């Protein structure tokens, strides 16, 4: 058995990093494809304060999930992802969703999820 083992290691050619290239490339290309397919969130219709208030009141009273688009653009001029969650509370300046405060003046659009 020793001779067979020695023969195997004499003939074996390690591919070194080449053996990992397939794994790396498939994972890497999947991430790149996902990023390229990701589109920035669309601009939703600007709601009036009366509409926003009605939706927020209903969501708070009935403990419904909401999705809020803030009136805020990133450096590329795109709107951010919606803030989603339950309304935990509110005060005179804004509401609390998932441990994040959103000011009433920052809300562009709100939907019940």
Distance CA 56, CA 78 (A): 24
Per the structure, the complete domain to which residue 27 belongs is given by 2-37
Question: Does any domain span residue 68?
Answer: yes
Residues contacting residue 112 through CB under 8 Å, at least 6 positions apart: 55, 58, 59, 64, 65, 66, 67
Q: Is the pLDDT of residue 85 over 60?
A: yes
pLDDT for res 86: 94
Q: Name the average pLDDT for the chain.
A: 83
Question: Does any domain span residue 88?
Answer: yes
Q: Which residue intervals of 12-88 are DSSP H helices?
A: 18-37, 49-62
Based on the domain organization, do 33 and 56 belong to the same domain? Answer: no
pLDDT in tens, 29-55: 778 777 777 778 888 999 999 999 999
Distance CA 54, CA 13 (A): 71
pLDDT for res 16: 63
pLDDT for res 92: 92
Report the number of distinct structural domains present in the chain: 2
Q: What CATH number is given to the structural domain containing 72? A: 2.30.30
Based on the domain organization, do 69 and 96 belong to the same domain? Answer: yes
Distance CA 44, CA 110 (A): 9
């Amino acid at each position: 058995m020793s001779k067979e083992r020695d023969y195997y290691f004499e003939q074996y050619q390690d591919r070194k990093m080449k053996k990992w290239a397939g794994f790396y490339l498939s994972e890497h290309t999947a991430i790149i494809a996902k990023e390229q397919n990701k589109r920035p969130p669309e601009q939703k219709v600007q709601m009036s304060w009366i509409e926003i208030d009605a939706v927020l009141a209903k969501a708070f009273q009935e403990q419904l999930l909401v999705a809020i688009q803030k009136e805020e653009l990133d450096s590329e001029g795109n709107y951010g992802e919606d803030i989603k969650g339950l309304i935990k509370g509110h005060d005179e300046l804004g509401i609390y969703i998932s441990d994040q405060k959103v000011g009433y003046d920052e809300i562009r659009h709100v939907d019940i999820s």
